[in-house]
Chain A
Amino acid sequence: MNAAASSALLAVLIAAPVTGALIAFLLPVRLRATAGILTAAATTAATAATAWRVAADGAHRHALGGWGAPLGIDLYADGLSCVFLLMTGIVGLFVSVYAKPFFAQPEENKGATELFWPLWLILWASLNGMFLSADLFNLYVMLEVMGLSAVALAVLSGRPPALVAGLRYLLAAIAGSMAYLMGVAMIYGAVSALDLQIVAAGIEQGRSFRVAFSLILVGLLVKTAVFPLHFWLPGAHSTAQAPVSAILSALVVKASFYLILRLWVDVFDGSVTVAAGQALGALGAAAIIWGSYQALRQRRLKLMVAHSTVGQIGYMFLLFPLITVVYQDVAEAPWLAHAWTGGVYQAIAHGFAKAAMFLAVGVFAMAVGSDDRDSTVGLVGQLPMTTFALALAGVSLIGLPPSGGFVAKWMLLKAAFTSGQWWWAPVILLGSFLTAGYVFMVLRQAFAPTSHKIKLKPVPRTMEVTALVLGAAAIIIGFRAEEFLLLLDVEAAFQEPVEPHRANDR
């Protein structure tokens, strides 16, 4: 494959799901699921091909329409983008497979669920767009497309609680994008460019930039649902239908996290301060404790899993204080690679585990007819595969070995110790402890004896299997960090570490 063709793959990653969405929209309702799954498979295949090319040849850049920056819009894929793209591809594919039988159930197929496939594929396109865009304004458009389609998916069932939570989500999303766009406007006013590379090159340290970046940051923090800006998440993620919850929790919040990370290390690395890094870390720490504690208190499973997302997102933000430090030479900060890997691994492992968990809870809820924590009593005998999927996902969330979550927490903890920022260690561990609390609370219920034989509604086998596959994926990535790290290394930002502006720190 020549260079032009393989860089055109980047455009395919966005074009394929959009095309699929249009086709699905035009097809009669009964054919949509098939079209959707085919599109999902094609997109995932294209994602894998892209990752393969990037791993082999290094980062790719593609000028849409041949214009090129600064006039045109560029797509750019390096190791970091590919890791997120791959996670989206794999989770997306399995959620799609799960969604087909899910929406075929009469009690789930209410409201406007026939719109699931077009909306989900549009959302997928915007996610891929987020991971690939190298242009601040294009990123804004992708953020908006993502937000609108995500909210639309969340309210598909048309049930009032979902509608209310959806509106709250939408308003938060709009406010977030507006803050982001305000920041972008200020940057454009100063450097007259939108392309990330050009902006990064033109950035000087200065007050206006810090205000602009703060606005962008706050906007994205709202979308990532970082404590205390997480208020919209538990409602929206728990009232959506199971496949949608999985998509929202596993993928959508990761896209804005990715963007924060990308901007932090590649664009604004001259403007960020140690204090800002510590502040983000503190928000993450508060999120870990608050989210996990709230999850422990919930009686409804879906609410529990949604709160758990708030806590798990917190772990990703511990990355920022660890990579934002003052030093002269990279050799003085050997933990950068660990911190970097830990944070990104956490995002990926959480993606798999949380998708598995929402799908498994969806199976429970479908079988029992309620997602109350007590209604899962004794299910292990009747739904062993799903209980197992839930357990695997739980193991990764807690961070027990061997799992992706373990590798992530190991790296973060190690980076915390090596960098001397030991104060993150108790937070990481307390979070694990609380997580163990709620995960085992569910498992305990599932293992409890039942006095009466509950009549369960049969659940399609495919749904059980897909949940298990994703749960297993969260474990398996704990065994093979090597390839992942090689991919992440392509044009890795930690090789040119974040060197914060020092004047304000002392």
Chain B
Amino acid sequence: MTLNESLPLIIVASSLVPGLIIFFLAEHQATARTILNMFGAVLKMALILAVYYGILRGNEYEFRYDIGVDLEFVLRVDLLSLLFAILSSILWLVTTVYAIGYLEGSPFRRRFFGFFSICVTASTGIALSGNIVTFFIFYEFLTLATYPLVVHRGTEKALQAGRTYLWYTIGGGTVLFVGVVWLFVLGGSMEFDRTGVLAGLAEDHSRQLRILFWVLIAGLGVKAALVPLHGWLPIAMVAPAPVSALLHAVAVVKAGAFGIVRLVYDVYGIELADALGLLTPLAVIATVTIIYGSMRALAQDDLKRRLAYSTVSQLSYIALGTAIVGVTASTGALAHLVHQGVMKITLFFCAGNIAETLGVHKVSELNGVGRRMPVTMAAFTIAAFGMIGLPPVAGFVSKWYLGLGALEVGSAWIVAVLLASSALNASYFLPIVYAAWFREPDGEWKTYRTARYLETPWMLLGPTVATAVLSLAIGLFAVTQWSPLEMARQIAEELYSK
């Protein structure tokens, strides 16, 4: 096996192996655990960036392993998988730092970090999957690995949430299983680099292909939190903040969104999907989710729940962009995959900081918090502006491209939806920002965590600032060569030039 063949496997293993070793460490060996975790996270990021460099120079990275009969395990690196892999590896690194600070002194950290690494393994695996079976394997693997994290606190509420989470995701997985097998029967192993297999079947099996598409969307839609399959996401917010931040803003929900992107672009192919008339209904579902999520977010007083509904809404921009034909809209969708992740993780970090430092969980209790925790609230403000779509933060860029793309194909109604959604975003984020900075505090702040010079320990503050700066930077430097937008554009152009 050459290095290029084994690299994708090593990338996946770089978080799996530390995760497994952590299970065998004793609970009190915190230093060893930290070193392992950081080593894995840095190694993974370095490897992925190295592979990115190699891909740009035209190298190919593919790992194949025959399980038996026609089941084949394939990891392959293409630009789309890199986009997701880079996102999750960078955010894993940041979140690991945050989680070490967040969970300091709490019980069962061994279990937490073990499963946390395994989750990242699963999401990297999803990113690098080269065919539909491999994708499905990691998709289900992710479900299993997140469950212990959702119920980590072990309270009755957490267990209840865990149960809801499982019913939704196992149900979705089951439906996806049917879809995947069905797909397999129709078109074989469905390598992601070989689209057009299904196009050949379109004439004879168009009805079957249509039904199959919705079966697959129903399976993927649970993780992508499409309405009405989104119910688990707000409930799963009982998990510790790093879990909500990485998994429920990035890894798990993005797995679903990424699956939809793969399904439309690499399994059906955008032309076939368009020809079968699948894209407009998908756009409608996405629109409903966008509006519904925002409306629900407005009504939430719990900060994390408000963020969760905001995730429901924001995620569907990806599905929406996927459903619009054209380079511009696709670029917007793919860029949003990254942008939304970075911004949302910032917001969750902030919510975690406020909860950990001041014990405040409710939106109505945030009056004047900006004076007590200026850095955190500054980060929050930047990310919130991004979510609303104000320039120059990243969110503006992706919304702009989505709007342009919609206009290109003459779907003005989508622009109206985008505007409406931005107005809704503003109306649930701006009051928080206003209250935090301009209102008088209701009383004395209680303090649960202290740091000598900072408003909260650096391990919590550092990652928050880093992601806030990142979300500003990828917006500001969107047109440079190394930005996610540029990468998204390359992917989109390649897609339509096929």
Contact = CB atoms under 8 A, between A and B. Distances in A.
Contacts of B159: 444, 447-448
Interface size class on chain B is 20 to 34
B69 A481 contact: yes
A398 B154 CA distance: 24
Contacts of A198: none
Given A402-B141, A418-B185, A429-B174, A484 B136 contact: no
Contact of A338 (B67, B69, B166): B69
A414 B184 contact: yes
Contacts of A407: 67-68, 71
B181 A413 contact: yes
B378 interface: no
B466 to A, nearest CB: 32
Nearest to A481: B68
Interface in A464-503: 478-482, 484-485
A238 B13 CA distance: 40
A440 interface: yes
Given A395-B144, A402-B137, A444-B159, A337 B181 contact: no
- Secondary structure of the A side of the interface? helix
A67 interface: no
A263 to B, nearest CB: 25
B174 A432 contact: yes
Contacts of A401: 136-137, 140-141
Contacts of B184: 414
- Secondary structure of the B side of the interface? helix
B69 to A, nearest CB: 6
A384 B115 CA distance: 13
A285 to B, nearest CB: 16
B141 A484 contact: no
Interface in A404-431: 406-407, 409-411, 413-414, 417-418, 425, 429
Interface in B89-122: 108, 111
B158 to A, nearest CB: 9
A433 interface: yes
Interface residues of A, number: 39
Nearest to B139: A401
A447 B154 contact: yes
A202 interface: no
Per CB-CB distance, the 6 closest pairs between chain A and chain B, nearest first, are A481-B68, A449-B154, A401-B137, A417-B185, A413-B181, A436-B170
Interface of B: 23, 66-69, 71, 108, 111, 136-137, 140-141, 143-144, 147-148, 151, 154-155, 159, 162-163, 166, 170-171, 173-174, 177-178, 181-182, 184-185
Interface of A: 337-338, 341, 378, 380-381, 384, 395, 398, 400-402, 406-407, 409-411, 413-414, 417-418, 425, 429, 432-433, 436, 440, 443-444, 447-449, 478-482, 484-485
Given A401-B141, A433-B171, A484-B68, 11 more contacts: A406-B137, A410-B71, A413-B177, A417-B182, A425-B178, A425-B181, A444-B163, A447-B162, A478-B67, A481-B71, A485-B69
30 contacts: A337-B69, A341-B69, A378-B154, A384-B111, A395-B144, A400-B141, A400-B144, A401-B136, A401-B137, A407-B67, A409-B177, A413-B177, A413-B181, A414-B181, A418-B185, A425-B178, A429-B177, A433-B170, A433-B171, A440-B147, A440-B170, A443-B147, A444-B162, A447-B159, A447-B162, A448-B154, A448-B159, A449-B154, A478-B67, A480-B67
